[in-house]
């Protein structure tokens, strides 16, 4: 009984971690779209941020390819995501607005 309970808890934690990563990507995509709608992001800025999102997704795919994400790969992906978040904030607050 304890083994089944331990296995269920482990699977729950793995599922929560995976859903948090997916939610993070969705949140970043929402931030970019919201910036475009509110005219805080210019078209080239939004294009650059979306291009970075594609690069991050590609890097994640390449890291998962062999079945193991090494600490180095995880650190690289985390740095890419952090840079993209900072860049989004910077673009949204640089007082350049889209005219229509």
Residue 81 has what pLDDT?
95
Percentage helix, strand, coil for the chain under 3-state DSSP, each rounded to 5? 80, 0, 20
Residue indicated by tokens 């805080």: 40
DSSP assigned state of 94? S
Residue indicated by tokens 């989004």: 88
Residue 95 has what pLDDT?
84
Give burial (CB, 10 Å; 0-12/13-18/19+) of 49: buried
Q: What is the pLDDT of residues 10-65, one digit of tens each?
A: 777 776 565 555 677 889 899 999 999 998 999 999 999 999 999 999 999 999 99
Select the more confidently predicted residue: 5 or 70.
Answer: 70
pTM for the whole thing? Answer: 0.71
Residue 9 has what pLDDT?
74
Residue 6 has what pLDDT?
74
Task: Give residues with Cβ within 8 angstroms of 5, minimum separation 6.
Answer: none
3/81 Cα distance (integer angstroms):
37
Residue 30 has what pLDDT?
92
Q: What is the pLDDT of residues 62-96, one digit of tens each?
A: 999 999 999 999 999 999 999 999 999 999 999 88
């Amino acid at each position: 009984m304890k083994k089944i309970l331990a296995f269920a808890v482990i699977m729950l934690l793995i599922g929560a971690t995976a859903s948090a990563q997916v939610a993070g990507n969705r949140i970043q995509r929402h931030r970019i779209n919201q910036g475009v709608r509110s005219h805080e992001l210019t078209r080239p800025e939004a294009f650059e941020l979306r291009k970075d999102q594609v690069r991050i997704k590609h890097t994640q795919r390449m890291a998962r390819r062999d079945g193991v994400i090494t600490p180095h790969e995880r650190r690289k992906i985390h740095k890419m995501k952090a840079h993209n978040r900072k860049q989004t904030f910077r673009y949204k607050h640089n007082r350049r607005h889209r005219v229509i």
